């Protein structure tokens, strides 16, 4: 998921206002430090800052439309350099920093600034921190250094004093739900709320949670469709038996399968012979493998199951009903 500007970045409104002024004036500090726990968006924010710094637009930076912005978003801009980590600790050594000191004196290739990004700077040894401190003491006017870390307190005070520090904080749950809903429109309100609550205000944790649910659902849908098209009732029985232990996931699967079937039926009825490239692979499989009459029958069966479950009927009984009815339908000759 690519976040390209401050408006898309979730939470931390005060920091976004500060950066918006910096972007508008093109008055970038030579040294920036972004601190905050893992998952709050330090890397994303550093990329937004770097993109704004190389942006060719005189206002609304980053515009995400100019040549410089496009190169930055594709990680191919020659003036945005991500320092490579080395060694067992996977951090920056003194030699890498000395190399940067030599190169930073050279003017930018294409943009007004050359940006060096040190991610996880708090993993640096004290020797390396002293080396980078010397680098920050006499920066070129056309050079910007961005350091990210979990906590500025883990770095030497003199290094922190050379940087403008932006401290990212946890995001309000309501904002996380809104963000998740925007990027996961098919997720249920319940799943969105749970993911946001589990995250504790950490946007990456929320995304990981909702993605794990989405990936599991997609995998289950593929299995269900496969067992239908293979006419393999035994595999379906075992599959649904395992799934029925979690009623929430069980109902979510049938609800999602119903939506796919309805979409497939609409396409069949409209007699579209060619599917659009962005159509779900599952829908293509259903359309190619089932005739309209059987799709409509499956829709009717699942709607009954979803209606029955409101009466708290045991999922195992619903599974048995589905298998009996569904395979009776699909085994019928044309």
- Model pLDDT, residue 275: 53
* Contacts for 330 with CB less than 8 Å, ≥ 6 apart: 228, 231, 290, 294, 298
Query: Mean of the per-residue pLDDT values for the chain?
Result: 86
- The answer on pLDDT for 31 being more than 90 is yes
- The answer on pLDDT for 17 being more than 60 is yes
H helix intervals, the chain? 13-25, 42-54, 67-73, 94-103, 126-137, 157-161, 173-183, 189-199, 203-229, 233-243, 247-269, 281-289, 292-308, 315-330
Stated pTM of the model: 0.71
Q: Average pLDDT, stretch 220-240?
A: 90
Closest CA to 6 of 193, 200, 166: 166
- Model pLDDT, residue 18: 95
Instruction: Provide the pLDDT confidence category of residue 86 given band limits of 50, 70 and 90.
Output: low
- The answer on pLDDT for 56 being more than 80 is yes
* DSSP secondary structure letter of residue 115: E
Instruction: Please identify, in words, the CATH class of the domain defined by 13-169.
Output: alpha beta
Question: Which residue bears the tokens 């290094």?
Answer: 159
Question: What residues does 116 pair with on adjacent strands?
Answer: 81, 145
- Model pLDDT, residue 334: 58
Instruction: Provide the pLDDT confidence category of residue 117 given band limits of 50, 70 and 90.
Output: very high
Q: Where are the domains of the chain?
A: 13-169, 174-330
- Model pLDDT, residue 213: 76
């Amino acid at each position: 998921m690519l976040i390209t500007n401050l408006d898309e970045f979730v939470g931390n409104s005060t920091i976004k206002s500060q950066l918006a002024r910096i972007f508008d004036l093109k008055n970038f500090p030579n040294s920036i430090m972004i601190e905050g726990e893992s998952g709050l968006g330090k890397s994303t924010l550093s990329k937004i800052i770097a993109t704004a710094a190389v942006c060719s637009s005189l206002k609304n930076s980053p515009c995400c439309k100019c040549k410089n912005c496009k190169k930055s978003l594709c990680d191919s801009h020659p003036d945005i350099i991500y320092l490579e980590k080395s060694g067992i600790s996977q951090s920056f050594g003194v030699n890498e920093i000395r190399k940067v000191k030599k190169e930073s004196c050279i003017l930018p290739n294409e943009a007004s600034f050359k940006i060096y990004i040190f991610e996880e700077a708090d993993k640096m040894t004290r020797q390396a921190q002293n080396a980078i401190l010397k680098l920050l003491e006499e920066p070129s006017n056309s050079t910007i250094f961005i350091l990210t870390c979990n906590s500025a307190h883990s770095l030497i005070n003199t290094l922190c004093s050379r940087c403008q520090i932006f401290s990212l904080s946890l995001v309000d749950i309501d904002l996380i739900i809104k963000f998740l809903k925007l990027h996961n429109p098919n997720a249920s309100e319940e799943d969105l709320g749970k993911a946001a609550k589990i995250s504790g205000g950490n946007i990456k944790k929320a995304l990981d949670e909702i993605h794990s649910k989405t990936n599991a659902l997609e995998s289950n849908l593929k299995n269900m469709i496969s067992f239908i098209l293979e006419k393999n009732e035994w595999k379906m029985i075992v599959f649904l038996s395992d799934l029925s232990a979690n009623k929430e996931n069980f109902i979510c699967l049938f609800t999602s399968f119903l939506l796919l079937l309805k979409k497939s039926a609409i396409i069949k009825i409209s007699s579209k012979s060619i599917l659009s490239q962005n159509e779900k692979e599952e829908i293509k499989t259903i359309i190619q493998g089932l005739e309209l009459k059987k799709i409509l029958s499956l829709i009717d069966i699942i709607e009954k199951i979803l209606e029955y479950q409101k009466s708290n009927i045991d999922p195992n009984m619903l599974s048995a009903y589905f298998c009996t009815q569904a395979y009776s339908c699909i085994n019928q000759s044309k």
